Amino acid sequence: MVEPENLHISLSFLGETGDKKVDEISGKLDSIAKNYQKFEITISGIKFIPNENYFRVLAFDVLSPENVLRKEIVKAPIIERISSEIRSEIGGDVKPPHLTICRVRSIGNKNLVIQEIIKRLENFKESFKVNSIQILESTLQRSGPIYSVIHESRLS
């Protein structure tokens, strides 16, 4: 299970990135963030990553209401729009937005696990306000990753 202090919504995985590249990415992220107001999202529904037949990660799906960009009405949900801009401007291994709750090493009875997870979490729903987009550094330990914020871009 991911420790509460390590929970975050993933928009892109950048991989090994040098300090100079981080400065460049930080500037681009600041430019993206200034175009968006703070918004509310909801996490609900289980995602099996990469898929239900072979999953290494269990995550909540990230849902967001349609929102208004400062200068235009956005048809796509705002979190998808931000993710698309990150993919276009910054790159990385971009996945659909998700909140990882558990990493899976091995499973005995996969179908039983899936049934239990769905039964326990199918009605889970939590909403919260998004105020910023962060660049996180992941330091791998035997016990799992430890995340540190190395840059934060505040939304308007």
Query: Catalytic amino acids?
Result: 8, 98
Compute the distance between CA of residue 80 and CA of residue 104 in angstroms, rounded to an integer. 26
Q: Is the peptide bond before 96 cis (omega within 30 degrees of 0)?
A: no
- Where do we find the tokens 């016990």? 143
Compute the distance between CA of residue 77 and CA of residue 41 in angstroms, rounded to an integer. 10
Q: How far apart are the first and last CA of the chain?
A: 33
Contact between residue 137 and residue 148 where contact means Cβ atoms under 8 Å apart: yes
